[in-house]
Amino acid sequence: MDRLVVMKTFVTVAKSSSFSGAARELGISGSLVSRHVADLERQVGVRLVNRTARSVSLTDAGHRYAEFAGRILGEIEEEDSSLAHARDVAEGALSVICPKWIGTLDVGDAIAAFVREHPKIQVRFELGGMSDRNYDFLDRGYDVAFHTRDLRDSSVLVRRVSELPFVLAASAEYVRRRGLPTGVAELSDFDCLLHPNDPVWRLGAGMETLHHKVHEPSAVANSYLVIQKLVHEGCGIGLIPLRPVADQLASGELVEILPEFHPPSRSLYAVHGPGGKTPERVRVFLDFMTDWFRSRVVARGASAA
């Protein structure tokens, strides 16, 4: 029989000095209480109680074991309560992993805002090292992983946090120098700045979607932050995240290229582990990230020099 079950029964008997009293408190039969105590005596190899027709008293060994068992059961209950409290309170360590290109832009800004607002949650934020296996982040000790690809995996829970809009842009100085393409096909006549993730630019939506394969890019960088800097310095036309350059577009410092052919947005997903109630620190983090992105929706705008 389960050791902890019979220990709990024995401790209850010791407190009530009665099998019937223990039975009432535990909600089981008196015969089952007697069987639990007898089973415990067999396990420890000594007699723990003196049984008479009218009462139950503890032996010396019984007093000693009742104190020991009470202490063990109390520690277990205390630890269970502590773990439940940690689950239900927004504090403690939170580990997050994210692709580099997102982390150096939007997500990094949102993380900084979260850390400032929730000082009792200690965030460990790692960029890169993402695995193709959707659940690998859990095996590596992370609470949350960010992705921009659609995930269909019952071994993890997925929340869509935001849309990440992109824009095809160039600097006003570059447009003054080289002019503007009048259609997608004319992009081949301009300096195109390429991220390896985007060898083909999808422009437009639905039946109006056109594809432009960048054949001889003027520069290649595996960081959208670098592509953004190249665009700003007048090196050419680049496909970049919209939110970080919204102010530059609004001021006319940057120009949206082919605004009638918006590149599609990409969904940002937060992935976390399944199993019971989501820890409060994870829930608070996911809610914060969703609200942060929702409050920073940007409108497109183009201006020609």
Model confidence pLDDT, tens digit, residues 110-164: 999 999 999 999 999 998 877 767 667 888 889 999 988 776 666 788 899 998 8
pLDDT band, very low/low/confident/very high, at 106 (cuts 50, 70, 90): confident
Question: Residue 55 has which token pair?
Answer: 């009462």
Domains in the chain and their CATH numbers?
3-88 (1.10.10.10), 92-163+266-294 (3.40.190.10), 166-256 (3.40.190.290)
Q: For the purposes of burial, counting CB atoms within 10 Å of the CB of 171, is it exposed (0-12), middle (13-18) or buried (19 or more)?
A: buried
Q: Do 243 and 298 touch, CB atoms closer than 8 A?
A: yes
pLDDT at position 108: 87
Task: State whether residue 210 is helix, strand or coil.
Answer: strand
Q: Do 123 and 90 touch, CB atoms closer than 8 A?
A: no
pLDDT in tens, 3-28: 889 999 989 988 888 888 888 888 89
Q: Do 201 and 235 touch, CB atoms closer than 8 A?
A: no
Q: Which of 62-71, 242-251, 272-281 shows the lowest mean pLDDT across its residues?
A: 272-281
Does the predicted TM-score (pTM) go above 0.85? no
Question: Residue 103 has which token pair?
Answer: 């982390």
Q: Which among 283, 244, 284, 285 has a CA at the least distance from the CA of 111?
A: 285
What is the number of helices (H) and of strands (E) in the chain? 11, 14
- Dmax over Cα atoms in the chain, in whole Å? 107
pLDDT above 90 as % of the chain: 51
Q: What is the mean pLDDT of residues 244-265?
A: 93
Say if residue 87's pLDDT is above 70. Answer: no
pLDDT band, very low/low/confident/very high, at 305 (cuts 50, 70, 90): very low
Question: How far apart, in whole angstroms, are the C-alpha atoms of residue 209 and residue 175?
Answer: 24
